Amino acid sequence: MTATETIKEKKRTLFDITGDMMALFDLLDEAENDEDADRVLETWFSENLSDLKNKADGYAAVVREFEHRAEARETEAQRLADSARAMKNRSRSLKYRFLSTMQFLGMDRLDTDINTFRICANGGKLPLDIHDPTKIPEEFVRQIPEIDRDRVRLALEAGKPVPGATLMERGQHLRIR
């Protein structure tokens, strides 16, 4: 066996290791007695456990790297979103100041060599001021039904049937420390 073949043989994938585990289960099923099963397990563990541990450590490193990159990108996205929001606020503030100046000067239009500034009425629906919501008649109040998930969960946990709802099994996740 050449050195390259030996290296390729040592760099086994997680799928290879999983396949070996399946083969182990088959060998254990074929074992005629406990002694044979113990010998099969001892051989398999001595040959494969270090590969699995090394591969698992490699996977953990890759998972952590992706988690760190995702966190860095989320932080950068938030920074950029905050920066964009600040720029929009500055833009609105500058436009409002110029609008106020034009209104103070009694101008509704200003033409320059590059731009045209014009005071325009806002479009859309007329603004509505609800200054005292408690005085609005019931016919104008929209009732939005909301399921009280905590009460439904408590009832189901107490063994009471709730039509349209069931408790589900918890899922699983992998924790790497």
pLDDT score of 1: 53
pLDDT score of 36: 76
Q: Are 94 and 86 in contact (CB under 8 A)?
A: no
pLDDT score of 97: 97
pLDDT score of 40: 73
pLDDT score of 76: 98
Residue carrying the six token digits 């182990």: 24
Q: Global pTM?
A: 0.56
3-state SS, one letter per residue, for the chain: CCHHHHHHHHCCCHHHHHHHHHHHHHHHHHCCCHHHHHHHHHHHHHHHHHHHHHHHHHHHHHHHHHHHHHHHHHHHHHHHHHHHHHHHHHHHHHHHHHHHHHHHCCCCEEECCCCEEECCCCCCCCCCCCCCHHHCCHHHCCCCCCCCHHHHHHHHHCCCCCCCCCCCCCCCCCCCC
CA distances from 128 to 34, 124, 131, 132, 142 (A): 83, 12, 9, 12, 16
Please give the chain's pLDDT, 177 residues, in tens.
Answer: 554 454 445 566 666 666 766 776 777 777 778 787 777 777 777 776 777 777 778 778 888 988 999 999 999 999 999 999 999 999 999 999 999 999 999 999 999 999 999 999 999 999 999 999 999 999 999 999 999 999 999 999 999 999 999 999 999 988 888
